[in-house]
Structure 1
Amino acid sequence: MNSRSALLAGASGLVGTELLHVLLESPVYEHVKIFVRKPLDAKHPKLEQVIVDYEELENYTIHFKVHDVYCCLGTTIKKAGSQEAFRKVDYEYPVRLANMARVHGVQNFLIVSALGADATSKVFYSKTKGEVEEQLKKLDLPALHIFQPSLLLGNRQEFRLGEKTAVVLSPIFTPFLAGRLQKYKPVSARSVANAMYATAQTNRIGTFTYPSGQIKDLSQQTLVELKR
């Protein structure tokens, strides 16, 4: 089964950290590359860490000779320092990664977006996420998989007051999220990672979007796969 290779961008983030564990544990991948700004404290026979300057992505074309590219890049305006810097991480870099993936014949491009992504939104965050989704769809990738989680649960390295407050309150409001409101239920970063991995193994062609409501179901497929 060890015949595939993967490239992961954003391995130090909440979902990326979980996804890296999944990829390394998988019997499917024999080689896993990660794009990092500085080395991570992670070692594995399958793992290759590539120190990358995202402003010079064209210098790393050799690393796109893989089957699947996973994009978990994401930041906040506070951390980035400005809307312009935020847009670079959440829009420009993912689009450039996807374009290079297309040029080099990558089979699957999988990206973490967000629930509520809408290019027409007046909310800068949602608008940016919506715009990157629209741009990626125009690239005509063999297989584009967009994951739209709601509130992400997990241990972030940085403190985010809004998310921390929502996590604390989630046990109170989650039981009331039924029917059409189910998509707003919090989802763990590990579930998103599992869903991304499971989707890459389906060999589906086309563009697909997975809201939070579908992510948990896809996650279960990964648990079954890894136990085989």
Structure 2
Amino acid sequence: MRSAIVVGGTGLVGTALVKLLCDSEEYVSVTVLSRRKLDFEHPKLTVKVRSFDQLEEKDIDFAHEVFCCLGTTMKKAKTKEQFEKIDVEYPLHIASLAKKCGIMHFIIISAIGASEKSAFYYNKVKGKLERELMALELPQLSIVRPSLLVGDRMEFRLGEKTGEWLLKGLNPFFIGPLKKYRPIEATQLALAMKVIALFGKKSPVTIYESQQLSTMKMPEAKVEKAIPREQLFNWDKFKEKEPTPIDEEVVFNQERLRKIKTKNELDK
């Protein structure tokens, strides 16, 4: 049985992931570090409302893995400094705390095309985050790079919604090398992150691209075939064998025993 920490459990992927882990047989405890309360309750769930500027080691309980789903947009952040604070500084700080607390696996959402050499600011920031996470030398780091995330958001984002409609319409044309740019459902990404936690590579650093994430699923449980009762208790097999004859010398002899006992008493 496992325990998990989810950071950013109120976003599109974080919400789906928290519900998935709570409903999972593999997890007995799910802790969410969030800046606000969740609209979801579960017996396995503990929510810690914290300011990420003031997170300390004592706020991190033991867990088998940390799922980091933090992320924002320039529209919400308003400035590049605030954007990088949420998308880079907070995840790095949390990863560092997790390492100090002995948590072995850190799983984080990045983005397709993440690279510090990218011409796009968003991808450049994600590339910076990946490089600095690797520099922390965590016991195990898994980076997931999804394409455009689709799903039912609590807030309406016109730009992302427009892109979602366009890309969904163009999905049949995303073939060959372009297949990796197909949108991915938030629920599928959450499932992929769970699969990575349970069955992913044990390498120090592993990067999972969007196309790979979109096909991940839980392995089917192996069902052991019941052994027929007649094979467990094959009485006919015993009937076929003739009983082994008993050696007469070994037969219990009451008269002989009495003689031996009497002789021993006399010797005393």
Q: TM-score, normalised by structure 2?
A: 0.79
For 2:210, the equivalent position in structure 1 comes to 212
Question: Which residue of the partner structure matches residue 192 of structure 2?
Answer: 195
- Give the structure 1 partner of residue 157 of structure 2: 160
SS at match of 2:70: coil
Number of equivalences: 220
Give the whole-Å Cα distance in 2 for the aligned partners of 1:158 and 1:45: 27
Specify the SS of the correspondent of 1:221.
coil
Q: Could you tell me how far apart the structure 2 residues matched to 1:147 and 1:79 are?
A: 23
- For the residues of structure 1 that align with 2:58 and 2:22, how far apart are their CA atoms? 23
Higher relative contact order (CA 8 A, sep 6+): 1
Give the aligned partner of residue 98 of structure 2: 101
**What is the aligned counterpart of 1:88 among 79, 85, 88?**
85
Asked whether the equivalents of residues 64 and 106 of structure 1 are also in contact (C-alpha less than 8 Å), the reply is no
Would the aligned equivalents of 1:24 and 1:32 in 2 still touch at CA under 8 Å?
A: yes
- Cα pair 2:60 2:97 within 8 Å, conserved: no
Deviations 1:130-149 (A, max 9, x none): 10011111111111111111
**Is 2:91 the partner of 1:76?**
no
Question: Residue 63 of structure 2: which of 55, 66, 76 is its match?
Answer: 66
Q: Which runs of 4+ in 1 moved over 3 A?
A: none
The answer to whether the Cα contact below 8 Å between 2:60 and 2:101 also exists between their aligned partners in 1 is no
Match in the other structure for 1:4: 2
User: What residue is the counterpart of 1:116 in the other structure?
Assistant: 113
Cα drift, residue 170 of structure 1:
2.1
Question: How much does 1:33 deviate?
Answer: 0.3
Q: SS of the counterpart of 1:205?
A: coil
CA contact (8 A) 1:5 1:68 kept: yes
Show the counterpart of 1:37. 35
> Any gaps of 5 or more consecutive residues in structure 2?
222-268
**SS in structure 1 at match of 2:31:** strand
The offset of 1:82, in angstroms, is 1.1
C-alpha contact 2:33 2:49 (8 A) present in aligned 1: yes
Deviation at 1:101, TM superposition (A): 1.0
Q: Once the two structures are superposed, what CA deviation does each residue of 1:57-91 show, in whole Å capped at 9, x if it has no partner?
A: 12x53424211100000000111121111111100
Deviation at 1:205, TM superposition (A): 3.2
Letter in 2 for 1:214: Q
The structure 1 residue matched to 2:47, chosen from 38, 43, 49, is 49
In the aligned structure 1, how far is the partner of 2:161 from the partner of 2:66? 30
Q: Is the Cα contact below 8 Å between 2:144 and 2:207 reproduced in 1?
A: yes
Moved more, 97-106 or 182-191: 97-106
Structure having the higher Rg: 2
Counterparts of 2:54 and 2:183, CA distance in 1 = 36
What stretches of structure 1 of length at least 5 have no aligned partner? none
Aligned counterpart, 2:16: 18
Structure 2 Cα separation of the partners of residues 64 and 47 of structure 1: 13
CA distance in structure 1 between the aligned counterparts of 2:58 and 2:33, rounded to whole angstroms: 12
> Cα RMSD over matched residues?
1.4
* SS in structure 2 of the partner of residue 201 of structure 1: helix
CA distance in 1, matches of 2:145, 2:23: 24
SS of 1:217's equivalent in the other structure is coil
2:255 matched residue in structure 1: none
